[in-house]
A = this chain, B = another copy of it.
């Protein structure tokens, strides 16, 4: 290699060695008699010291050119290097006079003695002094459009355009190093548990179920398209039919959906499937995976993950992905507050609240903010009722007009509230009110500092409903996907109360984020057909789209189930970030564009012709 050591490698034990380093100029300091250069690479930073005295003295310390000439030489030297230049430096490791304890190489520096005979080379970039002590510019750099430092001055757009420079910054590089580590430990765990990684195809078939597909026109099959997989779902089930028994794949998936900060058109999944298992086996195996990852990557031993039914999660947190880093569980007040003359509560399907412990000192202004918060259109509550528990135990509420001190004392008891607590109550339709109170609970959790990103609380949410009714299309949708099996004991509800059927489906939730989910699958053709009918597929549609899978079920399909983890999301949780983009090397923006390479982009007419397609807004030539 061009170097003998990396910039993160040299220690006090190396003093006296002749070394060659390569890297980027992170900083140049001209301190008169000495020039210091911080040389950076992926592995660290090493200080380079250029002794300016040597610009006019020879090896025997004899002055051989004038101070003025030496100054010119120094100026020429400084003019030839700059921030982010790529250098190759040959010098001697010396002990620093003042140690820098912030970096592992802080005990040493590399001393380069440039003598008056040092010359710029032909390319104008190299300053050499014999074979072993020199500074050579391997490549110069224009001034970067933003600071390549841990804290940068670059805005999002600029950093996206020059992503290759943003990736040079330590925090961004560390995110990808973390990702690599999580990936490696995932494979170590799964390989150790006899899983086989099998690659499934990227060019597959478009199906109308689920999100929108990205499609690929086929040149060899005119009028036909491949689709990019939203997940390898059917393939992994076929692998179970094949007897692969334990499959995994860390795999790119694709969804052509409208984008948000935490969504990307292409994302990575840890995709797994197992045969001859119960739900319990899957929860056990993958709780083990996440424990392994926390242990190996974060050094944290997570406790056993509690299980919560979907019904309880909705009742206690108003969400199927509760943030359980803090309590503040919902308390339903219907039995307590009705028929006291307060029409809002009397008319409400559900009256439900939370106890924001210690927030009784919230000012009028803060309470107004919370009221405004819950009344936002995307949250949609009509108002907020609050009640403070005073130091003397009395309760002061915004609805004192309707409720006696004794009534309010009952509220406090229902919330298990102490002096200093603040009760926040919403009322209205059940689903909407729970959803709104979930938002308020998360907001209060953030305000009260209960959502520390270095604290991790994981749980399983189980017993999801099999179906959800979609008002828009007037039919049932599969809550997980159409291959999820119903709980056998709920099958009798299939005709009369299909929405009450529970599925053998489960999600893993960490800190209020769904990091993974899966189900025990259907492995019986007749049940699968029944499921498709329930979802409004005609027999022909079901057969055209999933005939191959249903046929496979007739050739000895074992009972099987699986799970998939959102890998980008998992990495962002490990890294303590809300944005998955920070953990993707080359993410796309909210319009699905890669602004660095400027994709997507128009293609040539020849390409369109070969693919048998044309753009919709191009009118067909007349008479041709």
Whether B242 pairs with A164 at a CB distance below 8 angstroms is yes
Residues of B within 8 A of A220 (CB): 258-259, 591-592
- Within the complex, the shortest CB–CB distance from A362 to chain B, in Å, comes to 43
Whether B85 pairs with A42 at a CB distance below 8 angstroms is no
Copies of this chain held together in the complex:
2
Residues of B within 8 A of A212 (CB): 219, 607, 610
* Contact status of A221 and B141, CB under 8 A, knowing A40-B243, A548-B596: no
Contact mask for chain A residues 554-580; partner B; CB cutoff 8 A; 1 contact, 0 none: 111111000000000000000000000
Whether A239 pairs with B2 at a CB distance below 8 angstroms is no
Q: Is A96 an interface position by the 8 A CB rule?
A: no
Q: Is A199 an interface position by the 8 A CB rule?
A: yes
Contact-size category for A? 35 or more
Whether A206 pairs with B592 at a CB distance below 8 angstroms is no
- Within the complex, the shortest CB–CB distance from A25 to chain B, in Å, comes to 8
A residues bordering B, Cβ < 8 Å?
1-3, 6, 22-24, 40-43, 84-86, 138-142, 144, 162-165, 167-168, 173, 176-177, 179-180, 183-184, 187, 191, 196-206, 208, 212-228, 234-235, 238-239, 241-245, 252, 254, 256, 258-259, 265-266, 268, 275-278, 281, 523-524, 548, 552-559, 584-586, 588, 591-594, 596-604, 607-617, 619-620
* Contact status of A588 and B277, CB under 8 A, knowing A225-B602, A228-B216: no
Whether B221 pairs with A593 at a CB distance below 8 angstroms is yes
Residues of B within 8 A of A617 (CB): 222-223, 612
Residues of B within 8 A of A276 (CB): 1-3, 22
- Within the complex, the shortest CB–CB distance from A285 to chain B, in Å, comes to 10
* Contact status of A601 and B205, CB under 8 A, knowing A238-B164, A614-B616: yes
- Within the complex, the shortest CB–CB distance from A338 to chain B, in Å, comes to 48
Residues of B within 8 A of A607 (CB): 206, 212-213, 215
* Contact status of A204 and B554, CB under 8 A, knowing A215-B611, A216-B215: no
Whether A22 pairs with B558 at a CB distance below 8 angstroms is yes
What are 6 A-B pairs at a CB distance below 8 A?
A: A22-B276, A22-B558, A200-B586, A203-B266, A224-B601, A620-B620
Whether A254 pairs with B202 at a CB distance below 8 angstroms is yes
Partner of A1, one of B84, B142, B278: B278
Determine which residue in A199, A559, A614 has the highest number of CB atoms from chain B within 10 A of its CB, and name it: A199
Whether A2 pairs with B559 at a CB distance below 8 angstroms is yes
- Within the complex, the shortest CB–CB distance from A460 to chain B, in Å, comes to 18
Partner of A554, one of B3, B138, B141, B611: B141
* Contact status of A588 and B201, CB under 8 A, knowing A225-B601, A242-B167, A615-B613: yes
Whether A602 pairs with B223 at a CB distance below 8 angstroms is yes
Separation of A598 and B191 alpha carbons in the complex (Å): 32
Separation of A203 and B256 alpha carbons in the complex (Å): 11
Partner of A615, one of B3, B216, B223: B223
* Contact status of A600 and B225, CB under 8 A, knowing A2-B278, A591-B220: yes
Residues of B within 8 A of A611 (CB): 215
Whether A225 pairs with B556 at a CB distance below 8 angstroms is no
Whether A523 pairs with B3 at a CB distance below 8 angstroms is no
Nearest CB to that of A234 among chain B residues?
A: B597
* Contact status of A197 and B221, CB under 8 A, knowing A42-B243, A141-B555, A245-B42: no
